Structure 1
Amino acid sequence: MRFPLDGVSLDDPILEGPSLRPHHGGDPDALVVLLHGYGADGRDLIDIGKAWADLLPGAAFVSPHAPDPCEGAPMGRQWFPLTFRDPHELTRGTEGAAPILREFLAAELAKYDLPPERLALVGFSQGAMMALKIATTAVVAPAAVVSYSGMWAEAAGGRGDMVLPARPPVLLVHGTEDEVVPAEALFASARGLAEAGVPLEWHLSPGLGHGIDDAGLAHGGAFLAEFLGRRRT
């Protein structure tokens, strides 16, 4: 089964961004999509693919630029606007940005002839919100999700009791000193996802602010290798 491709032309890019071919040099047996945060772009995360190349030698990596110019950082991109005044803007924002990202994922999987079970989503901050939104509302659950310094928007919006169509394994990673998305967001997300039946793990990096450290990177790579390590037959 594939993600729906209605209206998608593989000749017309939906989103664009840097990518890496598999470390082993052959055709990809998995796809890891890296979703950047508010005010950045796809170049911000693509080097994670190089760091994980030995762990995931058969995986292709792609880090798309978000669709819209960032209102708060003119040189960057955003998945959706942020005002920090509307308590529902995260749920509305992830919902509104989800269709174009779903189309991009469908096109990328089709390009490599991969099923959604060989997809992993990795997001940072706003990109982590998108990764969790897409993964838990998919027709077919992806292999795994790694969320860095983000949150599950539904839990933040008081909708943690919703029934989820998909329950992929999730790793939540956060810094204890995150000044943008407080570490409490990890615990709220973990509670909501666990109550919804999502298998999850979490890691707190002591003293880390809004970023990714070596420990978090190692945990994320090992987590994905656990679920993507087997080559497709």
Structure 2
Amino acid sequence: MTSSFSPPPLDGPRLSPRSGGPARQLVVILHGYGADGADLIDLGRAWQGQLPDAAFVAPNAPEPLPFEAFGGRQWFPLSERSPQEYVIGAEAAQASLDRFLDAELSKLRLDDSSLALVGFSQGAMMTFQAGLRRKMPPAALLAYSGLLPGAAQLKTIQTATPVLIVHGEDDDVVPAYHLDAARTALTQAGVSVDTHCLAGLGHSIDERGMVLGGRFLEKAFQ
């Protein structure tokens, strides 16, 4: 007997456009492993001055962490932390994220040309996974401290979406060499990519990264 169970739709903290008018852009912020949407929604607050007509939403990932009592969530399990696990997990999680993006754009009467995806760590993996494969290219993809799952599977990727990758030189969770690997694979696939490896930064987003991201999004939405 086939199960008809489907996971509940994604949701999380939101910010309406600072302008007070209807949203002209949508920025979706994807948190890292073990966090939730509240962990990154402040990025939206930092960028509202530059993007006054943008709506921001930071959805909570679909799965609770196993044995986690404090509400941490995951886009997909990380037990082996192997390249194969990243590919399988990101592919499995893409469907629920795509449904969320489609629903949010529909509610705001926007399309992907007004969409930016921003991700940190595991959320950056999902930004790459979903953003590079949307039927209509999003306006921008911004990845902080993440890696590109399935770099060898980009031969069929065709997107005009610009990508910005920001990483800390001292990242001991996702080492900075993943930035170079992603840049090489994306460039070979014909994707426009810019990168910044920030000195003295670990696995986090600092003010430099927020400024770089805000400028990138502002330019992408012009």
Shift of 1:85: 4.9
Residue of structure 2 in register with 1:220 after alignment: 213
Change (3 A) 1:171 1:72: farther
Shift of 1:55: 0.6
Task: Say which SS state the counterpart of residue 190 (structure 1) adopts.
Answer: helix
Q: Within 5 Å, which residues of 2 pair with 1:19-98?
A: 19-71=14-66, 73-75=68-70, 76-98=72-94
In the alignment, the residues of structure 2 paired with residue 160 and residue 151 of structure 1 have an alpha-carbon distance, to the nearest angstrom, of: 14
Task: Say which SS state the counterpart of residue 150 (structure 2) adopts.
Answer: helix
Task: Give ranges in structure 1 of 5+ residues lacking alignment.
Answer: 1-11
C-alpha contact (below 8 Å) 1:141/1:168 kept by paired residues:
yes
Residue of structure 1 in register with 2:195 after alignment: 202
Q: Which amino acid aligns with 1:200?
A: V
User: Any idea what the Cα deviations from partners look like across 1:51-73, whole Å, max 9, x if unmatched?
Assistant: 00111010000000000001374
Shift of 1:13: 6.5
C-alpha contact (below 8 Å) 1:160/1:193 kept by paired residues:
no
Task: Say which SS state the counterpart of residue 47 (structure 1) adopts.
Answer: helix
User: Any idea what the Cα deviations from partners look like across 1:85-106, whole Å, max 9, x if unmatched?
Assistant: 5430001111000000000000
TM-score, normalization: structure 1? 0.89
Change (3 A) 1:55 1:103: same
C-alpha contact (below 8 Å) 1:160/1:196 kept by paired residues:
no
Shift of 1:84: 2.8
In the alignment, the residues of structure 2 paired with residue 190 and residue 26 of structure 1 have an alpha-carbon distance, to the nearest angstrom, of: 37
C-alpha contact (below 8 Å) 1:181/1:210 kept by paired residues:
yes
Residue of structure 2 in register with 1:9 after alignment: none
TM-score, normalization: structure 2? 0.93
Residue of structure 2 in register with 1:136 after alignment: 132
Identity of aligned residues (%): 49
User: Any idea what the Cα deviations from partners look like across 1:136-161, whole Å, max 9, x if unmatched?
Assistant: 11101100011000011112xxx155
In the alignment, the residues of structure 2 paired with residue 144 and residue 72 of structure 1 have an alpha-carbon distance, to the nearest angstrom, of: 35
Task: Say which SS state the counterpart of residue 220 (structure 2) adopts.
Answer: helix
Bigger CA drift: 108-117 or 65-74? 65-74
Number of equivalenced pairs: 215
Q: Which amino acid aligns with 1:123?
A: G
Change (3 A) 1:31 1:93: same
Task: Say which SS state the counterpart of residue 197 (structure 1) adopts.
Answer: coil
Residue of structure 2 in register with 1:125 after alignment: 121
Residue of structure 2 in register with 1:8 after alignment: none
Shift of 1:16: 1.0
Shift of 1:166: 2.6
Residue of structure 1 in register with 2:103 after alignment: 107
Task: Say which SS state the counterpart of residue 88 (structure 1) adopts.
Answer: helix
Bigger CA drift: 79-88 or 94-103? 79-88
Task: Give ranges in structure 2 of 5+ residues lacking alignment.
Answer: 1-6
User: Any idea what the Cα deviations from partners look like across 1:144-198, whole Å, max 9, x if unmatched?
Assistant: 011000011112xxx1552204341000000000010000000000000000000
Runs of 4+ in 1 over 2 A off after TM superposition: 71-75, 84-87
Task: Say which SS state the counterpart of residue 130 (structure 1) adopts.
Answer: helix
In the alignment, the residues of structure 2 paired with residue 162 and residue 113 of structure 1 have an alpha-carbon distance, to the nearest angstrom, of: 32
Change (3 A) 1:213 1:96: same
Q: Which amino acid aligns with 2:31?
A: H
Shift of 1:227: 1.1
In the alignment, the residues of structure 2 paired with residue 87 and residue 105 of structure 1 have an alpha-carbon distance, to the nearest angstrom, of: 26
Task: Say which SS state the counterpart of residue 103 (structure 1) adopts.
Answer: helix
